[in-house]
Every structure is written in C-alpha cells, then in structure tokens.
A and B are shown apart, each in its own frame.
Chain A
Amino acid sequence: MIQVALAGNPNTGKTSLFNNLTGSYEYVGNWAGVTVEKKVGTLKQVPGLLIDLPGIYSLNPVSRDEGVATQYLLSEKFSAILNIVDASQLERNLYLTVQLLEFEKPLLIGLNMIDVARNRGIQIDYEQLSALLGVPIQPIVARTGDGCSRLPLMLQQSSEQSAVLFRLDYGSILEQGINRLTELLPTHTNLPSKRWIALQFFEENPIVTDLLSGFVNREQLLDLRQETERLVQEKTGARSLHQYIRQVRGSFISDIVKRSVRVTKQATYTMTEQVDRIVTNKFLGIPVFLLFMFLVFQFTFDWAGTPLSDLLDAFFTGPLAGFFEQMLTLAGTSGFIEALILEGILPGVGGVLVFVPQIFILFLIISFIEDSGYMARVAMVMDRMMEGVGLNGKAFIPMIIGFGCNVPGIMAARTIEQPKERLITTLLTPLMSCSARLTVYSLFAGALFQTHQALVVLSLYVIGIVVALLLAHLFSTYLFKQESSIFLVELPPYRLPQWKTLLRSTWEKGKGFIKKAGTFIFGGSVVIWLLGYTGPSGLHVDINNSFLAAIGGLIAPWLTPLGFGTWQAGAALLTGFFAKEVVVTTMNILYAPSAAETLQGAVANVYTPLQAYSFMAFLLLYVPCFATLATIRKEAASARWTWFTVGYALFIAYLVALVIYQGGRLMGFE
C-alpha cells in the first residue's frame, strides 16, 4: 500500500485535490492557511493513503501549522511526495520543489491551476519542465478534477521507484562545507538525505540544527557554519549563507522557467482590482464590511431565515405533535412515556431544529466569504484596528470562522506567526458569537424583538467583537511581555465560488448541528425533562419542586441583579455548559408551551425585552462550551490558560449583563 504526502505552498489547491482523490470533504477556502492539521484519506483508485498537510513555503517553519507539515515530512514514514505547484506562481512555488528534491524522496509534481495560468497567458512546456527537474509532472485543475484521474497510477509508479538524483551545484566553497558536514554524520541512521541536512543546516533551519546536535558536537557545528559563511562572503560578496543558498536556487529556477515558460500577454487582474477598489477603499472599506455584515443578518433573520423557521415551528407544534400524539395513543403507551415524548423530547429537540434555516444561511454566507477571497481583505481592512490592540489583521480570520463554530476558529489561530498573538487569539475567539448561540438569539429575538430582529442580533455580535478587542488590548499590555506584532497577508485573486462547493461546505458545517440535535440535544432533553419530572418528593412533582428547580435555584439569586434571577434561567445557563443550543432545549421544556402556542410564544410571557437582552448578552459571553474548552486546552497546551478563559469569560459576562440591565432600568426600560 502506498502512502503519499501532499506538500506545497499555501492556497495552491492541495485540499481540493485531496478531496477529489479520496472522496472526502475537507475544508477548502481561498486564503493561505486553511488547512492547519494533518488529514489522512484513502485513495479511491489504488490501494493507498493520501495525507493532506498545511501549506508551507520551505521546510523551515515559522508558524504552528507549518510546523505540523514539516514535522510530518521529517519524521513520518511515507512512500512518495505529491508536490502541488501553482502554475500561475511557478517561480515562487519551485523554491519548495527544489528543497523537496534535495530531500531525496520519490517525488511527483501536480501542476495545478493551469486554468488560471492559461488565462494570464502563461504557457508552460510541461515536458521540458519535467525533463529539467527530472521528475514526472501532471498538469491538473484540482477545482474541477481535470487531469486528476491519472495521478493515482502515477503515484503508485513513483512510490515503487527510488528517488531521482537531484544535485544542484552550490559552488566549490559551499560544496566543501557540505562534504565536511556529511563526513561528521554517522552512517547508519534513519536520517533523511545527508546533503539535504547539510544544506538546511547552513540555511539555519532550527529543526535540523537540533537534530544534528544529537550526533555532532554543537560547537563544532557552529564553527563549521561560521567558517563556511565567512568564506562564502569573501568569495561571492553574498550577505549571508542563507541568502547565498537562496540565490543559487533562485538562478537555477529562473533558468528553468526561462526555458520552459512563455508569457504571451501581460497579466491582468481586472476583476480582482475592480472589487478591491471597493472593498479596500479609503472611505468605503470598513462601511462596506459593516454593511455586508448587516445584510447577512437581514438575510438570516428578516428576509429568509425567520419566515422559514416559523414554518418549521408551525409544523413541529401542529401536525408533527398531533401525529405523535395519535401514534402514542394508538400504541397505548403509558402516560409517562407520552409526557416524555410530547413534553420533553419534542419541544427539546424540535425547539432547536426549527433554527436550522438561520444556521444554514449563516454557514452559507461564511462559506462564501471563505471561498471568494474576501477573507484576506477583511484581515487587511481590520489590521489597523487590530494593531491598536496588540494583534494583527490575520487574527480576525479565526474570529470570522468562530462565528460559525468556535472550535475551527481556534484551530485557525495556528497560522498566526507570533506566539503571543496566537495565544491571545486562541483565548478570545470564544467571545465570537457562534451559530449555537444564534439559536438562543433567534428564540428571544423572534419572541420579543419582532421589528428589529436583525439589528438586535447584530448588536450582540458587535458586543462580542468589542469585548474581544478591549480584552486583547488588556492582555497584550499587561499579561504578556511585549513582542512586536507582525503582519503579512497574501491577497489571492478573487474567485467566484462554485455553487457545488458552497453547498457542500455549508452542509459540512451544518450537518454537525443536525447531528448534535439527534444525539446531544436528544439526550439532554430526556435528562432535563426527567430532572423536571422528578423531585425530592417523588415522581411527577410540580415542576417548581423538581430537582431541576432546586439546581437552578442555587444560582438564581446571583442572577437577580442581571434581570433574570429565576431558577429556570439558572438551570438553562447551567445546561449551556454542554452546548449552547441546550439552553433553548431547556427553556422550551421549562416554559412548556400550551397547545395553542408556538415554541417561541411561551418565552414572550416570561421576559421583558430588557431582561431578554441582558440574558442574551450574558449567554454570549459566559463560559465557552465543553468542546471549545477542550480545543483551547489542546491548542494553548495549558490547563491554566483554559481555566483563565473560564474565569475571565464569567467575569466579563456578569459585568456586561449588569451594566445592560441596571443601565437600562436607569434609562427607564423595564
């Protein structure tokens, strides 16, 4: 069985190809740094595994996602590398190719984006290029699958052969240095190619330097590097060894590009430039972003989401409930089971499922932002503001992804270069209002803010962002020693997303929600209903004397200053630790709607708008759900920071809700 690793620059279409060859649906998007983890898939056509890795520019990692890819290539076993090269950016991509060739593993090049190259008038002589590099090349369009079907067989062939010998002449001085270093290395080890090691060492790749110091005296190593550097500087006038190596590779690459590529017309980026003229405009950039956000909410709530979810709601509470009732009567089930289903599971699960339309619309829009190329522009438009709070514009990407779900948002922070900024982003992404919280807003907004739904919900998102920025400022000033922030973002050309891809990635994000409804929320409904059905005095107690009331009552007094000091609110918030949607489940079971009401209607009788707003703000900010906490624990690799997140979130949530409720009362709201 073959085992092939995908390697290539970021945003060159590795994951698109991976999905095509393995039939998976991994995360694809038009910006650099979408994939941050290793993913393994089974090849469809030949027996074997394909491993998708984060994008890298060299085998010398800066950020954590690059570390994942480099670590894999250096320490895992695989039979061949499939190097994805962006045909429209050939020179830059080939720097990595040269290093992979020096690595001396069987290599095959997938020359991707030939459609883009063709449109820009770049004509590549594939055979010539392949001959010059000494490895097979397959031109492909990973987005549509053109040319991809031949790859698996070629991979099988490559895996069976040994690597081609690739040897770039680095000039007598450096070659001497390489020889001296390889002589110092032991012969019988499972080290990668010795020549490669030597070159990477001279380039100051820290991973390789560490690896080497296991075999050779560190001082001896550094002496050798210094001496070689001095000689190279004297002889060639190069600034550093690193620069010299880069130069040699560069001239090799521009030579082969000259011999195999012809540019027939001047590149034009008309569409990209036109769109950029608006979205990164001096005056319009930020307003356009806000307007876009507002339209998102209009669409999610007023125009499409809510009407659809009202229909679902009416269906659940009407025909579906009626149908279950009849079935249960027919089956002659006991009153207990009937109550469990009709008063527990149906409102509990149904009450969350009615928000499927809103959630899918939100995911559709997030997928559009991801696949169009707008993401990198948002990072750019936001950088000035983020710089002010000690972060950089790229930290906004995890936050936008966090609007869908905080877990992938936190993972996306891996691409941030500076450790301090990465950690702060990891800690603050949970403040982004995820789709699970959207269900709670939908419940309250639908019930209490019918006229300004979109605006009310948008304001909550803004609270989340503003609090995150303020805390970022606080954390970066007081918690971490100042480490200057850096910002560089690649601006890929815009691509009109394909409908198929959009729907696919919407479904991939949204299916988790439906799955949760069938498992977590279903189970939660049963437990919550049981806790409300039983009490210290036995079964079928009045709900106010139930175990649930007792538990919720414990924290209710703490919540009174915030405007919702009822045991119901307390119980609902407690269940929200597991998953935020469960808050809706709990509320629906507790405020059991009578037959005439819809699920949302019942809530309107119990809360005033001010109380509801305070509750929503609290829910937005308080403790992240378990899945998010587990991710923080893993990414920050620290229990302390995880607890810190719980602590600061509770504190801020309390503070904000207090200000909203008490301030609102002072201003005369109730």
Chain B
Amino acid sequence: MKKSLLDIPPGMKAYVSDITSVSAVLRRRLIDLGIMEGAEISIKRKLPFGGPLAVEANGQWIGIRRWEAGKIEVEV
C-alpha cells in the first residue's frame, strides 16, 4: 500500500519514493532542496489547527503545508 509522509509518526525516518503528485512549483522547490526520490525524510513537528509541518530532510529543516505533505509518498 502507498504511504504518504502524513502516515508516518513524527520522528520516524522514511525515504521519499514519489513526488509526482505534488504541485509543479512546490515540486521544483523540493527538488531544489534535494528532497526527491530516495531522500531521507522525517516529520519534526506539527503546528496546530492543521498548520504546516516542520520536516527534516538531508539534514536541513523546512516548513511545508500538511495537505501538500500528504502528496509526498514515502517508504519506511
């Protein structure tokens, strides 16, 4: 079964397997930061009221929206 970044508990490490369903501009930005197929990724914290997530990938921290994180597919 396919898993998205939202399906893994915060703190657990996973590997990005597919970002093709992420919107084009955001995908560009993710790739710019080296967050693409094969990159190690984990959720660091979730902001309240459905706010963004702080995510760590390749040793750097970024903030992205929750529903967009749901489009990043990962493998554990």
Residues of A at under 8 Å CB distance from B? 57-58, 62, 88-89, 91-92, 95, 239, 243, 246, 250, 267, 269, 272-273, 276-277, 280, 282-283, 285, 376, 379-381, 383-384, 387, 393, 417-418, 484, 486-493
Contact = CB atoms under 8 A, between A and B. Distances in A.
A481 B16 CA distance: 33
Given A95-B34, A417-B25, A488 B64 contact: yes
A273 B68 CA distance: 23
Given A376-B63, A487-B65, A383 B52 contact: yes
| 6 cross-chain pairs, A with B, having the tightest CB-CB distances, nearest first | A57-B32, A384-B51, A491-B61, A380-B63, A92-B34, A489-B63
- For B20, B23, B37, B59, the residue with the greatest tally of chain A CB atoms inside 10 Å of its CB is B59
Contact of A283 (B20, B48, B50, B51): B48
Nearest to A60: B28
Contact of A91 (B44, B54, B58): B58
11 contacts: A246-B31, A282-B47, A285-B47, A285-B48, A380-B63, A383-B47, A393-B52, A393-B63, A417-B29, A488-B62, A492-B61
A236 B36 CA distance: 18
Contacts of B59: 88-89, 267
- For A92, A95, A418, the residue with the greatest tally of chain B CB atoms inside 10 Å of its CB is A92
Contacts of B65: 383, 387, 487
B11 to A, nearest CB: 11
Contacts, number: 96
A272 B54 CA distance: 12
A490 B47 contact: no
Contacts of A273: 44
A363 to B, nearest CB: 27
A489 B64 CA distance: 7
Nearest to A379: B63
Nearest to A418: B25
Given A393-B63, A487-B52, 8 more contacts: A57-B33, A280-B47, A282-B48, A285-B47, A380-B63, A383-B52, A486-B26, A489-B62
Given A92-B58, A383-B63, A490-B62, A62 B29 contact: yes
Interface in B29-49: 29-34, 36-37, 44-49
A277 B25 CA distance: 29
Nearest to A253: B34
A209 to B, nearest CB: 15
Contacts of A490: 33, 60-62
Contacts of B44: 273, 276
B25 A276 contact: no
Contacts of B20: 239
A267 B59 CA distance: 8
A487 B63 contact: yes
A190 B10 CA distance: 52
A487 B32 contact: no
A530 to B, nearest CB: 55
B52 A380 contact: yes
Nearest to A285: B47
Contacts of B62: 488-491
A243 B46 CA distance: 30
A488 B29 contact: yes
A487 B29 CA distance: 10
Given A57-B32, A62-B29, A92-B33, A276 B45 contact: yes
Contacts of A285: 47-48
A545 B30 CA distance: 66
Contacts of A267: 59
